[in-house]
Structures are given as structure tokens and as C-alpha cells.
């Protein structure tokens, strides 16, 4: 690590003209680390399992069969195929239920992060580019939004109405956009002063064109790399909502409802709560590792150390 | 001191506006969301006329801005209203009265409910935070000082692991391992100080990864700065450099991330943890209030939570300027 270089850490790319190559370099650097390979392989395997599981495994995630209830996982005494991870209190296959839960959680996580990214960054760029009163008002709105803890907002909205995937995504987006707006705004403030923006303005580009075609492409990818971490966070929130009873409603399996449903049988059938959680933790772990490596290599590339 | 005074005046007036806005948002959300509190107060057997009468008495049929102004007026007088559901003696009193309108059971003032629950929440927060500090401060500093070696690996893997564990699941696993299976610790409810241990561990598990990461990053950026090497050239020991200079400089970004991120996380985490463990704090009070449509309780908690957030942020900004004189107010 070069000690002499005291480049201030900034998330703006140094040279917009090389925007494409900067992103490629970040990805290449990230891919070089062994953690990234392990995490991606794990994540890919989980995706494959989620997609193919229902076709391979001869069991059902929602069909109740009382004869097969409380079967332990196959590696324990008394477990039997095809119930790899055992069955729950109603005889439904836990692996399949977890996989459906994983798919739903992941979809909710990705959709909400994409939406909050788009919304937050659009507002942030607009606010930073315009400045003046627009900026003040928009930033005060983010202050207000950030002063409501996510959980309070979520239980207020979801607890009052009938929760469905749309309202869950809406709540997550509502609570997540201010952070993106803040980051995008602070980078735009620095970017607005740069030569290329002035040049674009001189040749008569409209404000909208400058924001969308010039500023956005150069500042968004660095932010997007870190957004991977937020997907994992949103998946945790989805699990929490399900646990409290304000997530996706039964009979659709989600991690939260599987875990909370199994708590009553904790002593006799611990696997109902513990095993799906392991699967969730595994997928979150792979996502977090990918996000962490991406973030680290982004910082290295942007600081010019690699 | 004039600038400090100006700083506080400006920030506090902004803060009051923010809290007002938050209050209005929550107030409106509660009233436009489906779910009628009257139905829960009076129970399923209530006649429409009795329901209408109660709604009128509670002022729920007035236009929302009028309700909000009246609510603000009451707050200015120090009255946060009474719970819709909870009686003075404790316990829930919804749904048991006959429709003829016998004198309603006296409802508990929200402020009392909160005052009763707050000490538990503070205890849990303090224990969880301390526990997280115990792990993450030494580990974070060690990982930050040296850019290689085992502390950095441990810090990286430990924080990646902990951040991937959903707190609801950690809670259940700990209940199973430490309480249900072995009987070492009590878990559900609250009777004595022992009941706080497992919930505090869960809170700490949620906080520790963020703390480890921000501490090690803050320390590492300072260690890479030229002043660190120059100090060593001047003959200052690594220990002096670390404790007198690096940590002081690192404190500012740390305080900022603690204010903005940690307190929000802590609040959210406390709510969920209290719900898992039936721990009788603010979180459990609020979650129950939501399911019972107990508007005054939810509003007051939201106002309190945002006030705490806003004022901690002000305090953090003030503390940063005191630590690092280069920063302007």
C-alpha cells in the first residue's frame, strides 16, 4: 500500500472518459480474490438449487401430509428421502419451503434495491445538480425520512394494511432511498464543477441531458457495486417482517413465517427453525462477501492503488 | 461560545421541524391506512351507532389536519393522550364492553406506558452496545493498524459472518441452545437481570459487524496518512501514535457513522429483539399497539424515536467539532 498517496477517498470515478474501463477494472480486481470466486460459486449453486429444486425433489412445499410431519433431516436418525432437510409441523418439505422462501426474499430484495437505487440516485443527482432551494427541500425530506426507523415505518404501514409483495417492496424502497440520494447528491456536487459538465453546457446540452447522459453514467456504477450489500440487508428485513407476521402471508412460505411457525416446536423439532435459517444465512453470506469484495476493490481502484 | 449557541439554535429549530414532519407523516399514515381502531376498542358485537359515538368522542371523524393540530396542542400541554386499548391497571381492555355504553374503563396515559417500558429498553440497549464494543473496539483497532495478518482476516470474516445472520434467527437459535436445551439462562419475558443476557447478545450480533468495519476503516485511513509515518520518524512510539493521534482523528468519522447509522439500527434491532423475547420494552409495546390500532401509542413512540435520532445527530455533530477543531459548525 502506497503510504505517500493521500488521495481523499471519494466515490466519484477519477476520469469519466475511462468510465467503462474503470468498472471493468473493478470487476477484474474483484474477481481475482479467492473470496469472490467462492462466494459466486456458492451463490450460483443456490440459484441453481432454487430453480431446479422443485423439479428434482419429489415433495411439496405447500401440500400438507400429516403422516410425514416432524421428520428430521436425512443425516439424522429417522430422516428419510426425499425430505433432505426434514419436514415441518404439517409434513411439508423444509428444503422446498426454504427454497421458495429464498426465491421470494431474493426477488423482493433485488426489486426493492433496484427501485431505491433508481429513485434515490435520481433525486440525489437532481438535488445536487440544481442546488439552491430544490436542494435544501429535497435534503430536508431525506432528513425526515431517515429519522423514521425502518421497523417503525414498516410495522405502521404493513401492520395496518394487508401486506403483499408490493407493499413490502414499497416500504423497503421508502425507507432505503434517502441513503442513495445522499450519496448521489454529494458526488454530483463534486462532479458538477468538472470540465466535462461545463463543456457539455457550453455546447448547449440541456440540464436533463447532462444529468442523465453525462453525470449519471460516471457516478452510478461505483454506487451500484455497494448496492449488492443492500440486497442482503433487504432480505433480512423481509425475514423479520415475516417473523412478526407483517410479511408475505401464508400459505406462501417465507423464511420469517417458517422460523416463527417452528418456534413452538423448538424442543422436539429444532430443525424446523434452525435449518432454513442456515440456508438463509448461507445465501446472505455469499451476497455479503460478493458485495464486500466489490466494495473493497472499488475503493482500491478509485484511490489509484491498483 | 456564540457560535456554539448559534449552532444549537439552528440545529434544534431544524430538528423540531423534522420531528413535526415525522409526526405528521405517521399521524396521517395511521389514519389513511385500513383498519378501524373503534372496532378493536368496542369489540365485534358493537352496534354501528355505538361505534360512531365512540369515534366522535375520540375525535377520529374530524379532518386529519384538524386532528393533528389538536394533537399538537395537547402535546404542547404535556398530554400525549391516552391509550385506546390499555387500561390503567395494565392489561388490555378491548372488546369486552357491551354496546350499551357502560362507562368506559379508564385508559392508561401513553406517557405512563412509555415511562414503564423505557427503562427496560435502555437496559437492553446499553447491555447490547457494551457487548458489541467489547468485541469490536479491540478487533477493529487491531485490524485497522496492520493491513495484513490475522486480526484483519478475523475482522473481515467475523463481520461478514455476523452481518449475514438474521437477528430473528440468531434469537431463536440462542434460545434453543442457551435456554431451552441447556437451561443455562432464562429467555422469555423479564423477571431479573439475567433475562437481559440473551437479547443483549442478539443486539450485539447485529451491531458488531458494522462497528468492526467502521472502526477498522477509520483507523486504517489514518494509519495510511503521512502524519503517522512522520510521527514515527520523530521518535514517537507506535503506542503513542495510536492512542494520542490516530484514535483521536478516527473518532470523527466514527462518531458520524454511529450517529447516522448505528442509532437507527439499534432502534430497529431493539424492536425486533424485544418482540422475539417478549421483553417488556418500547418495541413490544409498539408492535402490540400496531396490531391493536392503538394510534396514540404508535404516534408517541414515533415522535420519541425520531426525537432521539435527531438529537443524537446534533450531539454527534457538536462532539465532532469539539474533537476536530478543523471542522466548521
Residues B141 and B231 in one domain: yes
Instruction: State the burial class of residue A263 (Cβ atoms within 10 Å of its Cβ: 0-12, 13-18, 19+).
Output: middle
SS3 B80: coil
Taking CB atoms and an 8 Å limit, are B287 and A157 in contact across chains?
A: no
| Distance (Å, whole) CA A209 – CA A239 | 40
Q: What's the confidence (pLDDT) of residue B319? A: 81
Mean pLDDT of the B30-50 span:
76
Q: What's the confidence (pLDDT) of residue B202? A: 93
Residue B209 belongs to domain spanning: 113-323
Given a cut of 80, whether residue B315 has pLDDT beyond it is yes
Taking CB atoms and an 8 Å limit, are A240 and B291 in contact across chains?
A: no
Q: What's the confidence (pLDDT) of residue B92? A: 54
The tens digit of pLDDT for each residue in B244-300 reads 788 887 887 787 777 767 777 888 888 889 998 988 989 899 888 888 888 888 889
Query: Between B34 and A115, whose confidence is greater?
Result: A115
Which residues in chain B are contacts of A236 at CB distance < 8 A? Answer: 166-167
Residues B118 and B135 in one domain: yes
Residue B24 belongs to a domain: yes
Question: Which of B109, B141, B175 finishes a domain?
Answer: B109
The tens digit of pLDDT for each residue in B93-108 reads 544 444 444 445 567 8
Residues B8 and B48 in one domain: yes
Residues B129 and B21 in one domain: no
Cell of B120: 427496560
Given a cut of 80, whether residue A268 has pLDDT beyond it is no
CA angle A167, A148, A216 (to 5 degrees): 70
Q: Is B239 on the interface with A (CB under 8 A)?
A: no
Given a cut of 50, whether residue B197 has pLDDT beyond it is yes
Q: How many CB pairs under 8 A join A and B?
A: 148
Residue B328 belongs to a domain: no
A127 pLDDT band, cuts 50/70/90, is very high
Tell me the percentage of chain B whose pLDDT exceeds 90. Answer: 8
Nearest chain B Cα to A182, which residue? B260
Residues B182 and B295 in one domain: yes
Residue B329 belongs to a domain: no
Mean pLDDT of the A177-193 span:
89
Task: State the smallest CA–CA distance between residue B222 and chain A in angstroms.
Answer: 10
Given a cut of 60, whether residue B328 has pLDDT beyond it is no
Q: Is B12 on the interface with A (CB under 8 A)?
A: no
Which residues in chain A are contacts of B221 at CB distance < 8 A? Answer: 9
Taking CB atoms and an 8 Å limit, are A280 and B169 in contact across chains?
A: yes
Q: What's the confidence (pLDDT) of residue B101? A: 42
Within 268-297 of B, beta carbons closer than 8 Å to A belong to 268, 271-272, 275-276, 283, 286-287, 290-291, 293
Residues B101 and B117 in one domain: no
CA-nearest of A94, A36, A104, A93 to A59 is A93
B128 pLDDT band, cuts 50/70/90, is very high
Q: Is B306 on the interface with A (CB under 8 A)?
A: yes
Q: Could you give the maximum distance between any two Cα atoms of chain B, in Å?
A: 87
Q: What total of structural domains would you count in chain B?
A: 2
Question: Which of B83, B109, B135 finishes a domain?
Answer: B109
Provide the b/e sequence for A75-91 (b: ≥16 CB within 10 Å): eeeebeeebbbbbbbeb
Residues B129 and B272 in one domain: yes
Q: What is the average pLDDT score of chain A?
A: 81
Question: Which of B92, B109, B126 finishes a domain?
Answer: B109
Who among B156, B173, B302 is closest to A148 (CB)? B302
Write out A113-174 in H/E/C secondary structure: HHHHHHHHHHHHHHHHHHCHHHHHHHHHHHHHHHCCCHHHHHHHHHHHCCCCHHHHHHHHHH
Least confident of A70-74, A296-300, B206-210: A70-74
DSSP assigned state of B228: H
Instruction: State the burial class of residue B304 (Cβ atoms within 10 Å of its Cβ: 0-12, 13-18, 19+).
Output: middle
Report the CATH number that the domain containing residue B139 is assigned in CATH: 1.10.3720.10
Task: State the smallest CA–CA distance between residue A174 and chain B in angstroms.
Answer: 12
Query: Between B40 and A110, whose confidence is greater?
Result: A110
Residue B214 belongs to a domain: yes
Q: What's the confidence (pLDDT) of residue A79? A: 64
Mean pLDDT of the B125-149 span:
87
Residues B171 and B252 in one domain: yes
Cell of B186: 432464562
Place of cell 447478545: B201
Find the helix or strand (DSSP H, E) in which A37 lies. Answer: helix A34-56
Q: What's the confidence (pLDDT) of residue B82? A: 81
Who among A9, A255, A285 is closest to B161 (CB)? A285
Contact A254, A243 (CB under 8 A): no
Residues B281 and B251 in one domain: yes
Q: What's the confidence (pLDDT) of residue B104? A: 53
Q: What's the confidence (pLDDT) of residue A2? A: 37
Q: What's the confidence (pLDDT) of residue B190? A: 81
Which residues in chain B are contacts of A160 at CB distance < 8 A? Answer: 29-30, 33-35, 290, 293
Residue B233 belongs to a domain: yes
> ipTM, 2 decimals?
0.81
Residues B212 and B239 in one domain: yes
Residue B251 belongs to a domain: yes
Mean pLDDT of the B109-131 span:
90
Least confident of A13-17, A195-199, B128-132, B281-285: A13-17
Residue B177 belongs to a domain: yes
Contact A52, A58 (CB under 8 A): no
Given a cut of 50, whether residue B205 has pLDDT beyond it is yes
Residue B269 belongs to a domain: yes
Q: Is A255 on the interface with B (CB under 8 A)?
A: yes
The tens digit of pLDDT for each residue in A144-169 reads 888 777 888 888 888 777 788 888 99
Tell me the percentage of chain B whose pLDDT exceeds 70. Answer: 91
Q: What's the confidence (pLDDT) of residue B89? A: 57
B327 pLDDT band, cuts 50/70/90, is low
| Distance (Å, whole) CA A175 – CA B299 | 18
Place of cell 454529494: A186
Residues B128 and B83 in one domain: no
Residues B175 and B305 in one domain: yes
Measured distance between the N- and C-terminal CA atoms of chain A, rounded to whole angstroms: 9
Given a cut of 70, whether residue B179 has pLDDT beyond it is yes
The pTM score is: 0.83
Place of cell 469539539: B322
Amino acid at each position: 500500500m502506497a503510504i505517500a498517496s493521500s488521495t481523499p477517498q471519494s466515490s466519484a470515478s477519477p476520469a469519466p472518459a475511462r468510465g467503462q474501463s474503470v468498472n471493468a477494472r473493478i470487476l477484474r480486481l474483484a474477481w481475482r480474490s479467492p473470496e469472490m470466486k467462492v462466494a459466486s460459486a456458492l451463490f450460483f449453486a443456490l440459484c441453481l438449487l432454487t430453480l431446479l429444486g422443485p423439479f428434482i425433489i419429489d415433495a411439496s412445499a405447500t401440500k400438507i401430509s400429516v403422516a410425514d410431519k416432524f421428520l428430521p433431516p436425512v443425516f439424522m436418525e429417522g430422516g428419510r428421502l426425499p425430505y433432505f432437510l426434514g419436514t415441518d409441523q404439517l409434513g411439508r418439505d423444509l428444503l422446498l419451503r426454504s427454497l421458495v422462501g429464498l426465491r421470494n426474499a431474493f426477488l423482493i430484495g433485488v426489486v426493492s434495491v433496484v427501485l431505491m437505487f433508481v429513485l434515490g440516485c435520481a433525486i440525489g443527482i437532481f438535488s445536487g445538480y440544481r442546488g439552491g432551494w430544490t436542494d435544501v427541500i429535497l435534503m430536508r425530506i431525506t432528513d425526515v425520512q431517515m429519522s423514521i426507523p425502518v421497523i417503525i415505518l414498516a410495522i405502521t404501514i404493513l401492520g395496518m394494511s394487508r401486506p403483499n409483495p408490493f407493499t413490502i417492496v414499497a416500504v423497503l424502497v421508502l425507507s432505503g432511498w434517502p441513503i442513495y440520494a445522499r450519496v448521489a447528491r454529494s458526488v454530483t456536487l463534486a462532479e458538477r464543477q468538472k470540465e466535462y459538465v461545463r463543456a457539455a453546457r457550453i455546447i448547449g446540452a440541456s440540464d436533463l441531458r447532462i444529468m442523465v447522459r453525462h453525470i449519471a453514467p460516471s457516478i452510478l456504477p461505483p454506487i451500484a457495486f455497494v448496492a449488492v450489500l443492500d440486497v442482503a440487508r433487504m432480505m433480512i428485513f423481509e425475514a423479520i417482517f415475516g417473523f412478526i407476521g407483517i410479511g408475505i402471508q401464508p400459505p406462501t412460505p417465507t423464511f420469517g413465517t417458517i422460523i416463527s411457525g417452528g418456534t413452538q416446536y423448538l424442543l422436539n423439532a429444532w430443525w424446523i427453525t434452525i435449518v432454513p435459517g442456515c440456508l438463509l444465512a448461507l445465501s446472505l453470506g455469499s451476497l455479503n462477501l460478493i458485495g464486500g469484495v466489490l466494495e473493497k476493490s472499488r475503493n482500491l481502484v478509485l484511490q489509484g492503488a491498483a | 461560545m456564540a457560535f456554539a449557541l448559534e449552532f444549537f439554535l439552528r440545529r434544534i429549530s431544524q430538528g423540531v421541524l423534522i420531528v413535526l414532519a415525522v409526526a405528521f407523516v405517521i399521524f396521517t399514515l395511521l389514519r389513511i391506512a385500513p383498519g378501524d381502531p373503534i372496532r378493536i376498542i368496542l369489540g365485534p358485537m358493537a352496534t354501528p351507532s355505538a361505534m360512531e359515538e365512540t369515534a366522535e368522542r375520540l375525535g377520529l371523524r374530524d379532518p386529519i389536519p384538524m386532528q393533528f393540530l389538536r394533537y399538537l396542542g395537547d402535546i404542547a400541554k404535556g398530554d400525549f393522550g391516552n391509550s385506546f386499548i390499555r387500561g390503567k391497571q395494565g392489561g388490555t381492555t378491548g372488546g369486552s364492553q357491551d354496546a350499551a355504553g357502560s362507562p368506559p374503563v379508564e385508559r392508561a396515559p401513553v406517557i405512563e406506558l412509555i415511562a414503564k417500558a423505557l427503562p427496560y429498553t435502555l437496559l437492553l440497549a446499553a447491555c447490547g452496545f457494551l457487548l458489541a464494543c467489547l468485541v469490536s473496539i479491540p478487533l477493529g483497532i487491531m485490524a485497522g493498524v496492520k493491513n495484513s495478518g490475522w486480526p484483519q482476516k478475523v475482522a473481515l470474516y467475523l463481520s461478514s459472518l455476523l452481518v449475514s445472520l438474521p437477528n430473528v434467527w440468531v434469537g431463536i437459535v440462542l434460545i434453543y441452545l442457551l435456554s431451552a436445551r441447556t437451561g443455562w439462562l432464562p429467555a422469555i419475558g423479564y423477571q431479573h437481570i439475567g433475562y437481559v443476557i440473551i437479547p443483549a447478545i442478539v443486539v450485539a450480533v447485529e451491531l458488531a459487524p458494522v462497528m468492526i468495519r467502521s472502526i477498522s476503516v477509520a483507523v486504517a485511513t489514518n494509519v495510511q496518512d503521512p502524519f503517522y509515518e512522520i510521527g514515527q520518524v520523530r521518535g514517537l512510539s507506535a503506542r503513542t501514535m495510536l492512542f494520542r493521534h490516530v484514535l483521536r482523528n478516527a473518532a470523527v468519522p466514527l462518531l458520524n457513522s454511529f450517529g447516522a447509522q448505528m442509532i437507527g439500527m439499534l432502534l430497529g434491532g431493539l424492536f425486533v429483539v424485544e418482540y422475539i423475547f417478549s421483553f417488556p420494552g418500547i418495541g413490544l409495546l409498539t408492535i402490540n399497539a400496531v396490531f391493536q390500532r392503538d394510534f396514540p401509542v404508535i404516534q408517541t413512540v414515533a415522535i420519541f424515536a425520531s426525537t432521539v435520532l435527531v438529537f443524537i445527530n446534533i450531539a454527534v455533530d457538536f462532539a465532532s467539532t469539539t474533537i476536530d477543531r478543523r471542522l466548521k459548525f
